[in-house]
Amino acid sequence: MKILILISFFTFIFAQDYYYNGHKKIYLSQINTISNFSYDSNITKEKTYTTKNNQVLKLSNTLIIKTKNNNIDELISKYNLVLKKLLRKNVYLLSTTQNPLEIANKIYENESVQYAYPDFIKTIQLR
């Protein structure tokens, strides 16, 4: 019993957010910032991340998904998504009311898709 509690504790402590890019996990660190993007209704106010390269990413409520076999209706139904736009053949912009990072990862890990990732808003550094 003690081992199970200890494993659960370390899993919780060391759990880290990530997304897939080019079949690789990109690990993220959540930060607390004052949003510069609050005017945009597609931005989730509570989620801002940095990558290991210190790039700041703001999480939107949209996902970009490329299907392998045009099964978008099945994904929409299963994950309670809303189709916003067809970007190109088999590439879709979808919105969700759930955590877009978790939904994109579930879809990528469990479904027949080429890619699925949140539509991050990136900050631009002027020189």
pTM over 0.75: no
Q: The tokens 């945009």 sit on which residue?
A: 40
49 contacts 31 by C-beta, under 8 angstroms: yes
Span 65-120, pLDDT tens digits: 999 887 899 999 999 999 999 999 999 999 999 999 999 999 998 888 999 999 98
Q: How many C-beta neighbours within 10 Å does residue 96 have?
A: 18
Cα 42 to Cα 1, 6, 118: the distances in Å are 44, 39, 12
SS3 at position 111: coil
77 contacts 87 by C-beta, under 8 angstroms: no
Span 108-123, pLDDT tens digits: 988 889 999 999 887 7
